[in-house]
Amino acid sequence: MNLSDSRQANSKRSIARPDKNFILNQFIRRHDNPHGSFSFLKKNTRLLDKGTIERLECKACERLRQTDSLCELEAQNIIAAAALLEICARKSPVELKEKLLCFAVHCMKTKREHSEHALEMCDRIERKFNHDNVAVALDKMSLKADEAALVQTIQV
């Protein structure tokens, strides 16, 4: 096998199985379309794991760090998609389809469940965001304390 054959084989593998971020972004864009969501989740069941939901939370947190209103809107969309994944996780294909149909027809119970998961997720993200800000502030405070101690040592 020469080098060009190897490249062709690699490109075929990458076309056959796109990376998880690409799949996640596709789901975020179409999560509010129930038929598309069901067929998409049926093909990509690995999206329904805890790691994916945590990755979406981190992605939303990163978007919220940017003060742009477009990024904030994108973060809300990511949270909505992650909450939908969370309520669909560990469901059989029949239950999954039923959940997505209820979500589509604005079933109050499903909407309430989705809202609760989205709010819980927002709280988790906010805690992470505030924790990161506090950590940065503490680092700055410790640097100032170190500088003050150094100045005091120099004066002595």
The b-or-e profile of 36-71 (16+ CB within 10 A means b, else e) is ebbebbeebeebbeeebbebbbebbbebbeeeeeee
pLDDT beyond 60 at 104: yes
Ramachandran class of 106: left when φ > 0, alpha when ψ lies in -120 to 50, beta otherwise: left
Cβ within 8 Å of residue 30, ≥6 positions away: 36, 37, 40
pLDDT category of residue 85 using cuts at 50, 70 and 90: confident
Flag whether pLDDT at 9 surpasses 70: no
CATH domain 3-155 topology: Methane Monooxygenase Hydroxylase; Chain G, domain 1 (1.20.58)
Per-residue confidence band for 97, with pLDDT thresholds at 50, 70 and 90: confident
Q: Where are the domains of the chain?
A: 3-155
pLDDT of residue 111: 81
**Residue at 90: amino acid letter:** R
Is residue 123 predicted with pLDDT exceeding 70?
A: yes
Compute the mean pLDDT over every residue in the chain, rounded to the nearest whole number. 72
Q: Which residue has the higher pLDDT, 109 or 128?
A: 109
C-alpha span between 115 and 123 (Å, rounded): 12
- Structure confidence by residue, pLDDT tens digits, 30-54: 776 766 777 777 787 777 778 888 8
Residue 73 corresponds to which tokens in the numbers above? 């809107």
Cβ 48 vs Cβ 79: under 8 Å: no
Q: Which two tokens stand for residue 69?
A: 């209103």
pLDDT-wise least confident of 16-30, 55-69, 98-112, 142-156:
142-156
